[in-house]
């Protein structure tokens, strides 16, 4: 499928329609955001039964993503409420559903807003940036740095061999992650043109894509500092929650 798309449709047209959709005598498709579903569906337009199977199969894929994308962040809010980093209401659990329903509703509202913003407000970002670069920098890199800190500060009891292993693997991971993400960003910006690699990497909006990379740590640190000061005025030191590694 990828070969056929590249050969007959072309990378430039795929990127364009992923962001802008396309029009035709029959109305066309308004937008096909970073998904092959619209292109796959074209093949089966004359066979409603096969088209139904394709769409139904894709929905099972999206349902799985939906469950993951709601469950993980809602439980992060749930945990933040216990650490004093979020309002206590986020810790409310439904006796029937056994789930933090307030956190889940907030995450669902945020998700709906960004879905709307991507389609109608021009907030178009690339999946490689969001699931590649941002994950490398603000998830995996932090874990690699944590491994080094654990080894150097002896936060948990480790043998000398384990300390060296933690520090070595953490350092190697830091170099690999920074090199990979740095290369992608630098080369992507340098080749950003209508036909260049950068237009595919930062498809949608170059400024918005780069802004999301920079905004994540800035917003997170600013939010933490505001919360820390508010809780300090209440006599609560939230920084103590980060001086121990939870048993789990």
* Angstrom distance (rounded) from CA 52 to CA 41: 9
Cβ–Cβ < 8 Å for 199, 15: yes
Q: Alpha-carbon distance 3 to 11, whole Å? A: 10
**32 lies in the same domain as 16:** yes
Does 90 lie in the same domain as 8?
no
Note whether 219 and 156 are same-domain residues: yes
Buried residues in 219-248 as b, exposed as e (16+ CB within 10 A)? eeeeeeeebbeebeeeeeebeeeeeeeeee
pLDDT tens per residue, the chain (248 residues)? 667 777 777 777 777 776 666 666 666 665 555 556 667 777 777 888 988 888 788 778 778 878 888 888 999 999 899 888 899 999 999 999 888 999 999 999 998 998 888 878 878 788 788 888 999 999 999 999 999 998 888 777 788 888 899 999 999 999 999 999 999 999 999 998 877 788 878 877 888 899 999 999 999 999 999 999 999 999 988 888 777 655 44
Range of the domain at 197: 125-248
Whether residue 155 is found in the same domain as residue 183: yes
* 118 and 133 part of one domain: no
Eight-class DSSP state of 90: G
Tell me which of 67, 91, 124 is where a domain ends.
Answer: 124
């Amino acid at each position: 499928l990828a070969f056929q798309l590249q050969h007959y449709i072309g990378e430039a047209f795929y990127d364009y329609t992923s962001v802008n959709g396309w029009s035709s005598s029959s109305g066309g498709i308004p937008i096909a955001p970073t998904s092959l579903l619209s292109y796959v569906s074209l093949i089966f337009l004359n066979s409603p039964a096969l088209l139904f199977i394709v769409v139904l199969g894709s929905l099972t894929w999206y349902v799985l993503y939906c469950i993951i994308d709601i469950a993980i962040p809602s439980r992060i809010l749930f945990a933040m409420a216990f650490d004093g980093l979020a309002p206590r209401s986020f810790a409310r659990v439904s006796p029937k559903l056994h789930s933090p329903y307030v956190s889940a509703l907030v995450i669902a509202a945020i998700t709906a807003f960004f879905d709307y913003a991507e389609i109608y407000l021009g907030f178009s970002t690339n999946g490689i940036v969001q699931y590649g670069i941002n994950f490398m920098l603000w998830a995996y890199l932090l874990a690699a740095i944590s491994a080094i800190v654990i080894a150097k500060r002896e936060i948990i009891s480790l043998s000398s061999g384990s300390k060296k292993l933690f520090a070595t693997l953490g350092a190697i991971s830091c170099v690999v992650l920074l090199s990979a993400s740095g290369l992608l960003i630098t080369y992507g910006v340098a080749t950003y043109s209508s036909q260049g690699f950068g237009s595919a990497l930062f498809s949608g909006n170059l400024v918005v894509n780069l802004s999301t990379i920079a905004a994540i740590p800035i917003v997170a640190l600013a939010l933490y500092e505001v919360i820390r000061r508010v809780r300090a005025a209440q006599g609560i030191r939230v920084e103590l929650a980060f001086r121990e590694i939870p048993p789990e």
